[in-house]
Structure 1
Amino acid sequence: MIRPLAALAGALAVLLTGCAGVSGEVTQPPDPGSSQSAPATESTTLTVLTHDSFSLPEETLAAFEKASGYKVSYVQPGDGGTLVNQLILTKDAPLGDVVFGIDNTFAGRAIDAGVLASYTSPALPDGAADLATDGKGFLTPIDYGDVCLNADLGWFQAKGLAVPQTLDDLVKPEYADLLVVPNPASSTPGLAFLIATVAAKGDGYLDYWKQLKANGLKVVPGWTEAYTVEFSGSAGKGPRPLVLSYASSPASELGEDGQPRTANLPQTCLRQVEYAGVLAGAQNEVGARKFVDWLLSPQVQAQIPPNMWMYPADPAIALPEDWAKFGTAVDQPWYVPAETIAAQRDSWIRDWTTTVIG
């Protein structure tokens, strides 16, 4: 159960004890010739970089700001892929102090580019360490979800057409012009789906995408446009009844009768883990660490499912009732090892772009 906001503010104050007395001075590193390690920087402001799906209640964000004493600003350059690209492009002049929203499909790229500072959060709950992406502590797991195709049940019922179940179903003539997905070059869910097809089709994944393209596939820049604009089963009431989203999405699309209006397709899924990390060169490294810790607090973890539709990294957090009823479990999502993703990601995206976009 999500705790009342009054209790949340109190819990945050305890969690961040000692933060409110932050001075306005920025801690400077010692003289380059000194043998001492540089102390962590700190200032009165904290800039958080995140993807455009980051969403927590205003009261929750305000409680962190009040308890920490920092003036917090949020920069959202786009989807997860765009976020990582921006971090790399601005590596020599970082846009912020801390990042949330790098996922397991782009984690290797961010780490290899050197945009992150090592930090191991003492707040990492039991059971969440299994979601970690590397052993160096550059990224801390915050949430996870299964990226899956979703179907508008009402649309298929009205057309008298069976809902597709497998990747192979999607290339059949009866499902022409029905599917919309985000571009894997700019979208982390889009890349997750591309990787799922690699896992399913092996060396034949590009031939599979050629078949999807020939069958009327539509590609848009990110998840927001795909789900909220193009998908017929969301508030946008778009023209396409098949979309790439998450296994948890149907629980957010309940009809007046309390029943889900959409369904996920478990045989099309890949697990996505989202991470937070301290940015290298942060002006407020102390505050960045506190923000990572705060994201792992029970109060924030409990607010991730109803606000961002991802599973919390903390397995002890109770899930919303609708998730237990309507969130179809994905017992065997497609899987590709992280080291393979890191080694092959750029070539997969390049070859996909040549094949599908031209």
Structure 2
Amino acid sequence: MRTLRTAPTRRRGRTGLAAAAVLALATSCSLVGTGEDDPAAVESTDGGGATSEPGGEVVLLTHDSFALPDQVVADFEAETGIELTIRPGGDAGALTNRLVLSKDNPQGDAVFGIDNTFASRALEEGVLADTDDDAVAWPDGVEQYALPGDDEQRLAPVDNGNVCVNVDTSWFAENGIEEPESLDDLTDPAYEGLFVTPGAATSSPGLAFLLSTVAEYGEDWPTYWEDLVANGAQITSGWTDAYQGSFTQGGGKGQRPIVLSYDSSPAFTVAEGSDESSTRALLDTCFQQVEYAGVLEGAENPDGAAAVVAWLQSPEVQAALPESMYVFPVVDGVELPADWARFAERPTDPYEVDPAEVAANRDDWLREWTDVTTR
């Protein structure tokens, strides 16, 4: 990868969390297996020698884009005895802020949706429980998405994708204009007024795009943004406004044929009966985004929360991710939908900024970005 250049809470201990997580990972395989194992009937042992079973209510805090098929959730609840309550709230940034502000009185047991642009803040603020000294056996392929520096495996990778500039290929063909290919091209007068992006201060893909420019231009990234704004780039509050509202291939009557979206987006712009997508991702503009799940420190039901985290890495959930949340699974061997295998081309060398760099500079970068884009 390309890297940077220049209710009242009963606080509980974490003694049994590692064992619960290992148990949950082992039993999650039975969700799509022979059915001979009953996760609800397997006991785990906490540090005091008592036994406990997965079960009870687990409150899962998520971002607004969390979605899984009802049947997948129902099967999990039936097989584990867990009552899963899902509470969405904002995007990855808003979710992380929510966790930090309520860390002394956590509003849930588990969390899904913290991404690698905000993960360092969640870890630094101590909102996540660790797995003590016992390593959790993640499924094959997951380890490559582990957050650097998270030695306690407090954040379990669940899905990944790449935030990339997308273009409406049909618009460019109809207008006889060559399509852009790079970040530099977006500041070219040939593309004046054609680009729309969600803002870095209000959107996790917007922040990912800012980090792409930091990785590409180093300390000169503000100059790039000055040029981008001068070239008529539109900045919206979120992805929906950008893609569905302003993009020519979105759901509305947009007028801009260049948009910040994802590497998976072209798989969803294939007209019925067609064998071609009307959009493509510019693979030299991408920033890898990984989403994580974890057990909250002070959770009321840490054993159940660990089972939920493990379930999110299970084959059933991983297989549902592409069509439910438009992201790629992290587990090896999960079959992708046919359109994804053909049209969701992935970058081989996406941008990356070290989480430590993000943690140290995020607030300053966002302040400067806001200043540059609102002059």
Shared fold (TM-score, shorter chain, > 0.5): yes
Match of 2:187 in 1: 171
Note the 1:83-102 alignment, pairs <5 A: 83-102=95-114
Rounded Cα–Cα distance in structure 2 between residues aligned with 1:96 and 1:157: 50
Corresponding residue of 1:299: 316
Tell me the alpha carbon deviations over residues 327-357 of structure 1, each in whole angstroms, 9 at most, x when there is no partner. 2231111122222222222211121112213
Counterparts of 1:288 and 1:139 in 2: how far apart (Å)?
Answer: 13
Of the three residues 110, 131, 145, the one matched with 1:131 is 145
Residue from 196, 199, 217 that aligns with 1:180:
196
Alignment match, 1:59 = 71
Aligned residues: 341
* Alpha-carbon separation, structure 2, partners of 1:169 and 1:252: 25
Matches of 1:57 and 1:274, distance apart in 2 = 19
Give the TM-score taking structure 2 as reference length: 0.83
Aligned to 2:38: 17
For 1:1-358, list aligned pairs within 5 A.
Answer: 11=32, 14=35, 17-19=38-40, 44-119=56-131, 122=136, 124-133=138-147, 134-256=150-272, 257-358=274-375
CA contact (8 A) 1:80 1:101 kept: yes
* Unmatched segments (≥5 aa) in structure 2: 1-28
AA aligned to 2:200 is P
| Letter matched to residue 91 of structure 2 | D
SS in 2 for 1:266: coil
Asked if the contact 2:55–2:81 (Cα under 8 Å) also holds between the matched residues in 1, the reply is no
Q: Deviations over 1:7-39 (max 9, x none)?
A: x995389598343799xxxxxx9xxxxx96999
- 1:147 is displaced (CA, Å) by 0.9
Distance in 2 of aligned mates of 1:158 and 1:269: 26
Cα deviation for residue 221 of structure 1 reads 2.1
Partner of 2:99, secondary structure, is: helix
Listed one character per residue, the Cα deviations across residues 120-140 of structure 1 (whole Å, up to 9, x for unaligned) are: 774511221121112121100
- Farther off after superposition, 113-122 or 201-210: 113-122
TM-score (norm 1): 0.87
Cα root mean square deviation, aligned: 2.7
Amino acid at match of 1:192: A
Distance (Å, rounded) in 1 between the aligned partners of 2:144 and 2:359: 18
Q: 1:67 to 1:224 in 2, by over 3 A?
A: farther
1:279 CA drift (Å): 0.9
CA positional deviation for 1:291:
0.6
